């Protein structure tokens, strides 16, 4: 990891450092556009072809049903079941609390406006399964979808080498009451859920993280079909702000936790203490020696860096420009700086709060905007699975109160039919 001094960086240096996931030659876009076109035209046949090409599996069927999932899930041990149950319960509690009825508002006497929630009917959940299979992501998407009350939940995950999903994915499907999992990964799965195939239903909105192929496919189908997406949730990233009180072993562990996701992950350390920064880098090297996924993490760390700042204000200023998916404040006085956070997907406060807690089980959602999209997007929540429909009702008093203003406003825009829709009611004595 290269180290920079914040005070030596120009504006151009900073914009280069905060930029990620660029596809300058449009190689990923071109490939993904081809995949989408092939799925759109050939449906299931294309999914079989891509499972063979990208996942190296010759499938005979594109999904697993309840009986097959039950058989596969039997391999989950009692201890693993308990851990999944604790995660389920905490995620459920945190997300359930997000549903609150809103008040009706009388904006003028006789004019009442309000909003009501309605679940999105057909949703598609993408559960990554390339470099690591992520049953935790299934909980993070399936629980809010269930709480919202979505009537059809389509789940796609890449087939493993045996042409199935692993036992944890199967177990979580059953926990969520989902009786079918489709064996499709990457951009082809996104295309299948956006266009529909003989086997897979077209959905209204696609959710879930994934690698650059998945994320690119989501951003393309968002503008070319009527299927919406949650957000661009691409390769994982973390930015740790550390001061002189941070523990190098903890900070190094957090940097490695995101680096091990994939070679395109990014882990950034922004540190107010040169000596803590150096000690953290030494710790990273030490911990890498015993990490099974060290090769992946090393490659991710090659795209990562350390910035030494003079104070926490500079550190926060850089973090806000980077807009990290995960922000960890490994600082003594984190309470004094949280209000300076402008852009971040999810925040972890103090030395005892590892990002892994949020990845798995504290309750918050781990499907979060990456690649600086945290500037404008929030992570997945129950809100992501519902529409908020506005309603209004006018009484006789209401139409008389609001009518004259609407007549003038319609006149200002030269829209006489609009004016008339109010006038006929006001004057109907």
Ligand X SMILES: NC(=O)c1ccc[n+]([C@@H]2O[C@H](COP(=O)([O-])OP(=O)(O)OC[C@H]3O[C@@H](n4cnc5c(N)ncnc54)[C@H](O)[C@@H]3O)[C@@H](O)[C@H]2O)c1
Q: Which residues sit in the known binding site for Zn(2+)?
A: 258, 261, 359, 418
Q: How far lies 211's CA from each of 101, 323, 330, in Å?
A: 36, 19, 28
Q: Choose the one of ligand HSO, Zn ion, ligand X, none that binds residue 131, judging by a C-beta under 5 to 8 angstroms depending on kind.
A: ligand X
Phi-psi region of 133 (alpha: psi -120 to 50; beta: other; left: phi over 0): beta
Nearer CB in complex with ligand X: 241/374: 374
Stretch that binds Zn ion, among 42-50, 52-60, 355-363, 421-429 (CB under 5 A): 355-363
254 neighbors 263 (Cβ within 8 angstroms): no
| 326 among known catalytic residues | yes
- CA pair distance 419, 255, nearest whole angstrom: 61
Residue of 237, 260, 283, 325 with catalytic role: 325
Measured at the alpha carbon of residue 334, what is the angle toward residues 232 and 8, in degrees to the nearest 5? 70
- CA pair distance 209, 229, nearest whole angstrom: 11
- Give how far the C-alpha of residue 384 lies from the chain's centroid of Cα atoms, to the nearest Å: 10
Q: Does residue number 359 form part of the binding site for Zn ion (CB under 5 A)?
A: yes
Site residues for ligand HSO, 164-183, by CB under 6 A, read none
Q: How many residues bind Zn ion (CB under 5 A)?
A: 1
Interface pick for ligand HSO out of 50, 240, 325, 373 (rule CB under 6 A): 325
Interface pick for ligand X out of 3, 70, 131, 199 (rule CB under 6 A): 131
Stretch that binds ligand HSO, among 102-110, 129-137, 156-164, 211-219 (CB under 6 A): 129-137
Cβ of 162: how many Cβ atoms within 10 Å?
9
| 95 among known catalytic residues | no
- CA pair distance 103, 286, nearest whole angstrom: 56
End-to-end CA distance of the chain: 78
- Rg for the chain (alpha carbons), in Å? 25
DSSP character at residue 329? E
Per-residue interface string for the shown chain with ligand HSO, residues 137-156, x marking contact by CB under 6 A = x-------------------
CB of 130 to ligand X, least distance (A): 3
338 neighbors 347 (Cβ within 8 angstroms): yes
Q: Does residue number 230 form part of the binding site for ligand HSO (CB under 6 A)?
A: no
- CA pair distance 194, 196, nearest whole angstrom: 6
Q: Choose the one of Zn ion, ligand HSO, ligand X, none that binds residue 196, judging by a C-beta under 5 to 8 angstroms depending on kind.
A: none
69 neighbors 173 (Cβ within 8 angstroms): yes
Q: Does residue number 236 form part of the binding site for ligand HSO (CB under 6 A)?
A: yes
Q: Does residue number 239 form part of the binding site for ligand X (CB under 6 A)?
A: no
CB of 401 to ligand HSO, least distance (A): 51
Q: Does residue number 54 form part of the binding site for ligand X (CB under 6 A)?
A: yes
Interface pick for ligand X out of 124, 135, 142, 186 (rule CB under 6 A): 186
For helices 167-175 and 135-148, angle between their N-to-C axes, nearest 10 degrees? 10
Q: How far lies 87's CA from each of 156, 326, 383, in Å?
A: 21, 19, 20
Q: Does residue number 55 form part of the binding site for ligand X (CB under 6 A)?
A: yes
Residue of 260, 326, 355, 366 with catalytic role: 326
Nearer CB in complex with ligand HSO: 43/209: 209
User: What is the binding site for ligand X (CB under 6 A)?
Assistant: 31, 54-55, 128-132, 134, 137, 158, 185-187, 209-211, 213-214, 233-236, 261-262, 265, 325, 366-368, 370
User: What is the binding site for ligand HSO (CB under 6 A)?
Assistant: 134, 136-137, 236, 258, 325, 359, 366
**Residues labelled as active-site residues:** 325-326
User: What is the binding site for Zn ion (CB under 5 A)?
Assistant: 359
């Amino acid at each position: 990891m290269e180290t920079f001094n914040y005070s030596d960086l120009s504006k151009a240096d900073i914009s280069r450092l905060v930029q990620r996931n660029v596809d300058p030659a449009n190689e990923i876009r071109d490939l993904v556009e081809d995949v989408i076109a092939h799925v759109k035209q050939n449906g299931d046949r294309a999914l079989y072809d891509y499972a063979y090409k990208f996942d190296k599996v010759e499938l005979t069927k594109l999904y697993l049903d309840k009986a097959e999932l039950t058989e596969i899930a039997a391999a989950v041990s009692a201890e693993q079941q308990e851990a999944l149950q604790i995660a389920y319960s905490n995620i459920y509690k945190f997300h359930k609390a997000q549903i609150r009825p809103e008040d009706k508002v009388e904006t003028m006497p006789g004019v009442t406006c309000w909003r009501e929630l309605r679940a999105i009917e057909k949703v598609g959940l993408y559960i990554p399964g390339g470099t690591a299979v992520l049953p935790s992501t299934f909980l993070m998407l399936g629980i809010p979808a269930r709480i919202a009350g979505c009537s059809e939940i389509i789940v796609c995950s890449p087939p493993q080498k045996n042409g199935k999903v692993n036992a944890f994915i199967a177990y979580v499907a059953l926990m969520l009451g989902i009786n079918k999992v489709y064996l499709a990964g990457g951009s082809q799965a996104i295309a299948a859920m956006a266009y529909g195939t003989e086997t897979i239903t077209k959905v209204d909105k696609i959710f879930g993280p994934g690698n650059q192929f998945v994320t690119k496919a989501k951003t393309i189908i968002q503008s070319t079909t009527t299927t919406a997406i949650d957000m661009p949730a691409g390769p994982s990233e973390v930015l740790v702000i550390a001061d002189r009180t941070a523990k190098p072993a903890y900070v190094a562990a957090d940097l490695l936790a995101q680096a091990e996701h994939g070679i395109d992950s990014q882990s950034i350390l922004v540190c107010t203490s040169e000596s803590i920064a150096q000690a953290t880098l030494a710790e990273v090297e030490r911990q890498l020696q015993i990490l099974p996924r060290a090769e992946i993490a090393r490659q991710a760390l090659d795209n990562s860096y350390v910035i030494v700042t003079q104070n926490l204000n500079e550190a926060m200023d850089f973090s806000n420009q980077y807009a990290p998916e995960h922000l960890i404040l490994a600082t003594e006085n984190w309470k004094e700086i949280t209000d300076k956070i402008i852009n971040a997907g999810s925040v972890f406060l103090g030395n005892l709060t590892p990002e892994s807690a949020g990845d798995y089980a504290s309750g918050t959602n781990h499907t979060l905007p990456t690649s600086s999209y945290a500037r404008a997007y929030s992570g997945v929540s129950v809100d992501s699975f519902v529409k908020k429909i506005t309603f209004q009702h006018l009484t006789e008093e209401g139409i008389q109160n609001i009518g004259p203003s609407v007549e003038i406003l319609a006149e200002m825009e030269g829209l006489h039919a609009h004016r008339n829709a109010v006038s006929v009611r006001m004057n109907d004595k």
